[in-house]
Amino acid sequence: MTKIWRETGFVDNDPWVIETDEVKATGEQKPLLSLDELIAKADESNDVGLGVLIKPADDVRRLEPYLYRLEIVAVAFPAFNDGRAFSHASLLRQRLGYTNELRAVGDVLIDQVPLMQRVGIDSFAVSNATALKRLAENRLPAIPHHYQPAVRDAEAGKGYSWRRQAKPAA
Amino acid sequence: MYRYDEFDHAFVSERVEQFRDQVQRRLAGELAEDAFKPLRLMNGVYLQLHAYMLRIAIPYGTLSARQMRMLAHIARTYDRGYGHFTTRQNLQFNWPKLSEIPDALADLASVEMHALQTSGNCIRNVTADHFAGAAADEIADPRPYAEILRQWSSVHPEFSFLPRKFKIAVTGAERDRAAIQVHDIGLHLKKNDKGEIGFAVYVGGGQGRTPMIAKLIRDFLPEEDLLSYTTAIVRVYNLHGRRDNKYKARIKILVHETGTEELTRQVEAEFASLRDSELKLPEQDVEAIAAYFAPPALPQRAEGWENLARWKKADLAFARWVQQNVQPHKNPDYGMVTISLKPIGGIPGDATDAQMDAIADLAEEYAFDEIRVSHEQNLILPHVALADLEAVYRGLVAIDLAEANAGLITDIIACPGLDYCALANARSIPLAQEISRRFGSSERQAEIGELKIKISGCINACGHHHVGHIGLLGVEKKGAELYQITLGGSGDEHTSIGEIIGRGFEPDRVTDAIETIVDTYLGLRLDPSEIFLAAYRRVGPQPFKTALYGAAAEAA
C-alpha cells in the first residue's frame, strides 16, 4: 500500500497516478506523464496543472520551457541505490528554479528520506513498512549538521562557508 | 593537524547514533540485509569471508599519537590485537562483532576519527602525499584541500548513491606520492605565473579489471573553484555513469566511452553554472583550514649532523636504515622516517596493538606528535631531528619494525587476499612472505636497488599490481591458484600500467620467476643507478620473456 507523505503528514486523496497497462487515471485522478508525453501535450495545448515523471535516464533540463505549467514533478528511484534522481532534484530546484511539488517515487526508504529532503524533494510515495511506521511516528533518521550547501533551506553552520545547520523545528 | 570544532564533534556523534539506530533495526530484523548494506558500507562495515570488517578512515593519512593509541585500544578491545594498514590510508580490523561496532565508532569519535565513507558507492576517504608538509620538493601542502574535500563529501545528499565508489587523491609536490593518475579524480597542486595556487585536474584513472590512466581535463583550476568543479565532475558522473554493469560503472569507463573532449565539455558546462554558487571557497576559510596544517616549529638541531656521522660509523645496521628509510626534510636538521611495516617474512601492513602504542610514544617524544600512513602500507614520522634518529631507531628495533627496506624489493604491497577477502581468487600474504624471505638479505636488497613489487589476490587490484614495477595478480584457473606477472607499471608522476609478460605461474614457482626477472635485470642494467623500472622502460619485455619462458617466447 503506497501512501503519500509530506512534512505535514500523510496526504489523503492525492490525485497523481503513474499509469500502466492495468492502471489508468479515473475521475478526479490525473496522470503523471512521461517526459516525452508531457512535452507533446504541452506543445499541443495550453493546459496547466500538469504532472510529469522523470525517469533516471531522462534529461531533466528538457522541462525548462514547461516548468510554469507543472503542478508536480515526480523523480523515480527504481531502486534505492540508483541515485540519479538526487541530481535531477538538485538541478530542478537549483538550476531550473522549479518551486512546485517534487515527489520521490519508487523504492523510497526511511534512511534515504532525509537526503531526499536536502536535495529539495518535498513529497514521498512510500510503501516500505518500516518507512511508513517511522514516518507515522515522525522519527526521521536525519542529522542536523551538514558539510555542504544543498537545496533545502538551512542556516549557515558555524565555521566555514560550506557548512549548514538544519533549522530547528518550528 | 586538523582539530575538530564543535560542529565536527556534533556531526560525528550524530552519525554514530544514526548508525547505532540502523544496526539495531538490522539486528531486530526491521532492515533487510540488501537495504542495510549500503548504510553499513558508508560507515566502514564490510561483511567479509569470516566476519565483519571495520575499515577506519585516516583522512589524508594523518594521525596523532592519541589517535594511534585509540587504534591500538580498538585492536585490543574489539578485535584480535592487530590491525591492517591499507593502500588507501585506512586501517582495517578483521574480526569485530557487528553489535559492538557502534561502540568502536563512538570510541573513535572521542579522538576525532571515524569510519565514514571508507566503503560504499560514495566519495571515499580522500588520500594525499604521506610526506605532505615535510617533503623538500613540495609546492604546497595538499592536506588542507583534502580536508575541505573530506568535509564537503561527508554524507553528501546528492552523491551518496553513485554508480560506484569514487576516490579522490591530492598531491602537492613534484614527485607524485599519492598515485593521483590512478584515481577517479587526481588533483595536483601547482602555482601559476602569478604565484597563485591551483590544481591540475585529472579524471578517470583507476586499476581493477580495466586499468586506465587518468586524463588531464584542467591544467589550472583556481583554488576557490575546488568544490564547484568537483561537484560538476561528480554530478556528470552520477547522471551518466553506467549502472547497467557494475564492472563498467566507474568514471574511467564513462571518460573512455564519452571521450575526454566531450566529457570535459559536459563538466565545464556544469561548472559554468556552479562556479558562482555557495560552493565558491572564501580565501579566509582556506587559510583557516591551512593554519591547522602549519608545520611544527622545528628547533635548530645542527648537532644531529655530527652525531649521525658518528652513529653510522659505529653501527652498520643503523647506517643502512638511515640510508634507506630516512628521506630529506625541508629543514636540513630533520628527516622523514619511514617505519617499514614489512619485516622480513611478515604480513605487509599489519601492526599489533603493542606496536601501535610504541609508535605513538615515539611520535610523541621525537616526532612532534605526527604519524602518517602511506599508500605503500608503511607508517611515516614526518618530522624527526637527525639528532633523534638513533633513539627512534632503537625504539623501532625493540618492536621489530626497524627493517631497512623502504622502496626495496621486500617493501611489498599486498592486499589481504584469500586469507581474508570475500572477493579474492588467490592468496597474497603467503606469497609476499615467501618473496620477502627469499630476498631478505640486506646486501642483496641493496644490490638490486629500488624495486616495487605489488600483489593483488584478484582483478580488483587492491594490491595495485598494475602499477608495480613487478606486479603479481592471483587468478583462479580450474580450481587452482595461478599468478600472472606484469612488468613496468608505476604509480608516480610518470604513471604506467604494467604489461602482462606471459602465462601465469603456480604458487610454488612464482618466487623463482621473480628471481629470474631480477637476475635478468641485474645482467642488463647499464649501471647500479639504473633502477629496474628505468631498465625495463629502456629494453622492453623481451629479455624477461626469454629468461622466463625460453627462446621459444621470442617468436611470440
B68 phi/psi in degrees, rounded to 5: -60, -40
**Contact check, Cβ <8 Å, A150/B158:** yes
Q: Please state, in angstroms and rounded to a whole number, the distance separating the CA atoms of residues A1 and B148.
A: 43
In A116-135, the residues whose Cβ lies within 8 Å of chain B are 116, 118-119, 130
Chain A residues close to B25, C-beta within 8 Å: 130
Chain B residues close to A115, C-beta within 8 Å: 155, 157, 160
From its phi and psi, is residue B239 left (phi > 0), alpha (psi between -120 and 50) or beta?
alpha
Identity of the residue in A82, A94, A148 whose CB atom sits nearest the CB atom of B156: A148
Identity of the residue in A90, A111, A163 whose CB atom sits nearest the CB atom of B39: A111
**Contact check, Cβ <8 Å, B158/A149:** no
Q: Do residues B218 and B477 touch, judged by C-beta distance below 8 A?
A: no
Q: Which of B147, B131, B148 is nearest to B139 (CA)?
A: B131
Q: Which of B328, B162, B318 is nearest to B254 (CA)?
A: B162
Does B554 have pLDDT greater than 60? no
Q: How far is CA B441 from CA B339, B342, B344, B456, B513, in A?
A: 18, 14, 9, 24, 18
A101 phi/psi in degrees, rounded to 5: -65, 135
pTM: 0.96
Which of B31-35, B80-84, B502-506 bottoms out in mean pLDDT, i.e. has the lowest? B31-35
**Contact check, Cβ <8 Å, B161/A112:** yes
Task: Calculate mean pLDDT across residues B21-38.
Answer: 90
Q: Please state, in angstroms and rounded to a whole number, the distance separating the CA atoms of residues A42 and A33.
A: 11
B214-269 pLDDT, tens per residue? Answer: 999 999 999 999 999 999 999 999 999 999 999 999 999 999 999 999 999 999 99
Task: Calculate mean pLDDT across residues B123-139.
Answer: 96
Q: Which of B17, B138, B92, B68 is nearest to B355 (CA)?
A: B68
Query: Grid coordinates standing for B266?
Result: 559536459
Does B516 have pLDDT greater than 70? yes
State the pLDDT at residue B553: 57
List the single residue in A with minimal CA-CA distance to B28.
A130
B349-380 pLDDT, tens per residue? Answer: 999 999 999 999 999 999 999 999 999 999 99
Does B61 have pLDDT greater than 50? yes
Q: Of all residues in chain B, what percent carry a pLDDT higher than 90?
A: 94
Query: Which residues partner with A1 through β-bridges?
Result: none
Cβ contacts from A onto B, under 8 A: 112
Question: Which of B223, B239, B275, B286 should we substitute to test contact with A (largest number of A Cβ atoms within 10 Å)?
Answer: B239
B318-327: Cβ within 8 A, 24+ apart:
B318/B390, B318/B393, B320/B404, B320/B442, B320/B446, B321/B393, B321/B402, B321/B404, B322/B389, B322/B393, B323/B404, B324/B404, B324/B405, B324/B406, B324/B407, B324/B408, B325/B404, B325/B405, B325/B406, B326/B384, B326/B389, B327/B131, B327/B135
B380-438 pLDDT, tens per residue? Answer: 999 999 999 999 999 999 999 999 999 999 999 999 999 888 889 999 999 999 999 99
Does B343 have pLDDT greater than 80? yes
Does B492 have pLDDT greater than 90? yes
Q: Do residues B456 and B462 touch, judged by C-beta distance below 8 A?
A: yes
- Say if B152 is an interface residue toward chain A (CB within 8 Å): yes
Does B134 have pLDDT greater than 90? yes
**Contact check, Cβ <8 Å, A87/B239:** yes
- Say if B232 is an interface residue toward chain A (CB within 8 Å): no
User: Of all helices (H) and strands (E), which one includes residue B448?
Assistant: helix B442-448
Does B552 have pLDDT greater than 70? no
State the pLDDT at residue A44: 96
Chain A residues close to B152, C-beta within 8 Å: 147-148, 162
State the pLDDT at residue B556: 47
Question: Which of B30, B116, B122, B158 should we substitute to test contact with A (largest number of A Cβ atoms within 10 Å)?
Answer: B158
Q: Which residues of chain A have pLDDT under 50?
A: none
Chain B residues close to A147, C-beta within 8 Å: 11, 151-156
* Domain spanning A3-142, CATH class: alpha beta
State the pLDDT at residue B479: 87
Q: Please state, in angstroms and rounded to a whole number, the distance separating the CA atoms of residues A60 and A79.
A: 19
Question: Cβ contacts of residue A53 below 8 Å, gap of 6+?
Answer: A18, A32, A33, A34, A35, A74, A75, A76, A105
Chain B residues close to A149, C-beta within 8 Å: 277-279
What's the N-to-C CA distance of chain A in angstroms?
A: 31
Task: Break chain A into its structural domains and give their ranges.
Answer: 3-142
List the single residue in B with minimal CA-CA distance to A107.
B35
Q: Please state, in angstroms and rounded to a whole number, the distance separating the CA atoms of residues B90 and B100.
A: 20
